[in-house]
Amino acid sequence: MQTRILAALLCGCAAAGGALAETLVVNDQVQVRESQLERPKRGSTMSEVEKRFGAPVARHPTVGGAPHQPPITRWDYSGFSVFFEHDRVVHAVVTGG
């Protein structure tokens, strides 16, 4: 039970922190391996991302935008999500989906 809780916490932290690795549980052992999935690079523009990866599966409404809260937009692709601040990539996270 503790292993599953730890695995869930690790997956949540990885998703929140811009995962560059995949978290796996094999025989109740948590393992991390580098993801081979190509994702947009930090600093790329929205137009560069769409040109390289095509139209996203889903575009989520922008949140934030108030003083001290930059506008953040999320685009979902098959296998990863891209987070933009204004029109620049800040994170590209492997989702496994």
Looking at the structure of the chain, the number of domains it has is 2
Same domain, 31 and 73: no
Sign of CA dihedral 34, 40, 41, 42: negative
Same domain, 89 and 53: yes
Same domain, 45 and 11: no
Same domain, 63 and 25: no
- Residue type, position 42, single letter: R
Same domain, 32 and 43: no
Same domain, 61 and 24: no
What pTM was computed for the model? Answer: 0.66
Same domain, 49 and 29: no
Same domain, 25 and 49: no
Full residue range of the structural domain in which residue 8 is found: 1-36
**Predicted pLDDT of residue 26:** 72
Kindly list the distances between the CA atom of residue 13 and the CA atoms of 6, 46, 78, in Å, as whole numbers in the listed order: 10, 25, 20
Phi/psi at 84 (nearest 5 deg)? -115, 140
pLDDT in tens, the chain (97 residues): 444 544 454 555 455 444 455 566 777 777 666 677 899 999 999 999 999 999 999 999 999 988 889 999 999 999 999 999 999 999 999 887 5
